[in-house]
Amino acid sequence: MNTKVQPLRIGFIGLGIMGRSMAGHLLAAGHELRVYNRSRDKADELVARGARWCDSPGEVAAGSEMVITMVGYPADVEQVYLGQGGIVERAAAGTLLVDMTTSSPSLARRIAMAARARGCGALDAPVSGGDVGAREARLSIMVGGEQADFDRALPVLSLMGTNTVLLGGPGNGQHTKMCNQIVIASTIVGVTEGLVYARRAGLDPATVLQAIGGGAASGFQLNVLGPRIIGGDFAPGFFIEHFLKDLGIALGEAEQMGLELPGLALARGLYERMAERGLGRDGTQALIKLYQA
Ligand code: NAP
């Protein structure tokens, strides 16, 4: 990370698979980092590198010029922002609040309104690119909010991603992330079925990947998750339980729009069966287990 930026006091809440790598890039770029996570041990590495541990989301917010969150579910987002003693309550006027969790568009709008009432800016800025994209600072970042807040956040967001796009007002980042998840939902089903078919046809799946991975079927699901599927590596880059959360948000939004999305509904049904089998903490590539059972 060689990009020179004006050092800021940045708060980072949520240091899981994605957040830990993302926060690390900010630290590497010379920013002053204050961190909090539900389980403290996940902050150890960043604290050893110079980040300062805080005991609550509110404490993070109180000392930061910009607060970034990367927690799990909308309920977590609501708690850290709007809960008692949370970010919105404790942030000083002028603080910029950026939620990068995949969450609901309506919650993003509520947070933006609450932030504005306290003199703060707020952006919803969910990401795509997976654990690899987070580690390599190559995320796509989909932003909803005001142009001035976007301009202010861009130098910092650019330390974590290579493709940061403003899509309109509050909530539109989350709507765009839902478009992304709708595409992925049917794609991962296709990748899984392609590999199941390859095996049954007596082909070597790795050679099939080599053949089709550079053609029209190529993409993250095939080229990154395909080898994990073939190698039997089902460790989470992206938890099935988080994917189910996203598919639920997308289907709920579609329903409100009077939109029927049968591919999305099919994918959700398959992943629900995985969760019922206790596989919610596997990575999304574990879908092949359904076909092997
Ligand atoms: P993760 O590993 O579960 O990370 C979430 C972190 O947030 C966990 O460390 C969790 O603490 C912490 N957290 C949750 N609620 C909290 C709260 N109320 N206060 C403080 N910390 C809290 O999940 P992830 O894979 O990094 O994903 C994070 C978000 O990004 C999710 O919304 C996911 O859908 C989205 N996303 C993930 C990917 C991916 O490929 N992984 C890609 C794009 C978007 P604990 O350590 O105690 O659990």
- Cβ(232)–Cβ(206) under 8 Å? no
Choosing from 12, 18, 98, 234 the residue with most ligand 1 atoms within 8 A of its CB, the one to mutate for a pocket test is: 18
CA torsion sign, 177 to 178 to 179 to 185? positive
Same domain (yes/no): 225, 193:
yes
Mean pLDDT across 226-230: 98
- Going by alpha carbons, the residue nearest to atom 36 of ligand 1 is 102
- Cβ(66)–Cβ(98) under 8 Å? yes
Predicted local distance difference test score (pLDDT) of residue 293: 74
Q: Examine the pLDDT at 1 and tell me if it is beyond 70.
A: no
Distance 197 CA to ligand 1 centre (A): 34
Predicted local distance difference test score (pLDDT) of residue 243: 98
Distance 203 CA to ligand 1 centre (A): 38
pLDDT band at 5 (very low <50, low <70, confident <90, very high): low
Which of ligand 1's atoms lies nearest the C-alpha of 79? 18
278 domain residue, yes or no: yes
- 16-25 pLDDT, tens per residue? 999 999 999 9
Structural domains of the chain, count = 2
pLDDT band at 94 (very low <50, low <70, confident <90, very high): very high
282 domain residue, yes or no: yes
Q: Examine the pLDDT at 115 and tell me if it is beyond 50.
A: yes
- 16-63 pLDDT, tens per residue? 999 999 999 999 999 999 999 999 999 999 999 999 999 999 999 998
113 domain residue, yes or no: yes
- Going by alpha carbons, the residue nearest to atom 46 of ligand 1 is 39
161 domain residue, yes or no: yes
227 domain residue, yes or no: yes
Choosing from 20, 36, 71, 240 the residue with most ligand 1 atoms within 8 A of its CB, the one to mutate for a pocket test is: 71
Mean pLDDT across 184-201: 98
Which of ligand 1's atoms lies nearest the C-alpha of 15? 9
CATH number of the domain that residue 269 is part of: 1.10.1040.10
Same domain (yes/no): 94, 206:
no
pLDDT band at 229 (very low <50, low <70, confident <90, very high): very high
Same domain (yes/no): 261, 190:
yes
Which of ligand 1's atoms lies nearest the C-alpha of 42? 46
Predicted local distance difference test score (pLDDT) of residue 228: 98
Same domain (yes/no): 220, 190:
yes
Same domain (yes/no): 25, 162:
yes
Q: Which of 6-10, 110-114, 190-194, 220-224 has the lowest mean pLDDT?
A: 6-10
> Where is the domain boundary, 154, 169, 184?
169
Same domain (yes/no): 162, 183:
no
Same domain (yes/no): 155, 20:
yes
Mean pLDDT across 81-95: 98
Which range marks the domain in which residue 88 is found?
9-169
> Where is the domain boundary, 146, 169, 192?
169
Same domain (yes/no): 90, 115:
yes
- 133-183 pLDDT, tens per residue? 999 999 999 999 999 999 999 999 999 999 999 999 999 999 999 999 999
4 domain residue, yes or no: no
Q: Examine the pLDDT at 247 and tell me if it is beyond 50.
A: yes
95 domain residue, yes or no: yes
Which of ligand 1's atoms lies nearest the C-alpha of 36? 20
Distance of alpha carbon 256 from its chain centroid, rounded? Answer: 23
**Residue 96 bridge partners (DSSP):** 66, 121
Q: Examine the pLDDT at 78 and tell me if it is beyond 60.
A: yes
The active-site residue, picked from 42, 177, 245, 289, is 177
Burial class (CB in 10 A: 0-12, 13-18, 19+), 156: buried
Same domain (yes/no): 42, 106:
yes
Same domain (yes/no): 152, 180:
no
> Where is the domain boundary, 169, 202, 233?
169
Distance 207 CA to ligand 1 centre (A): 35
Whether residue 245 lies in the annotated active site: no
Which residues have C-beta atoms less than 6 Å from ligand 1? Answer: 13-19, 36-39, 42, 70-72, 76, 79-80, 101-102, 127-128, 130-131, 237-239, 242, 246
226 domain residue, yes or no: yes
Distance 6 CA to ligand 1 centre (A): 28
Same domain (yes/no): 38, 108:
yes
CATH number of the domain that residue 145 is part of: 3.40.50.720
Same domain (yes/no): 85, 160:
yes
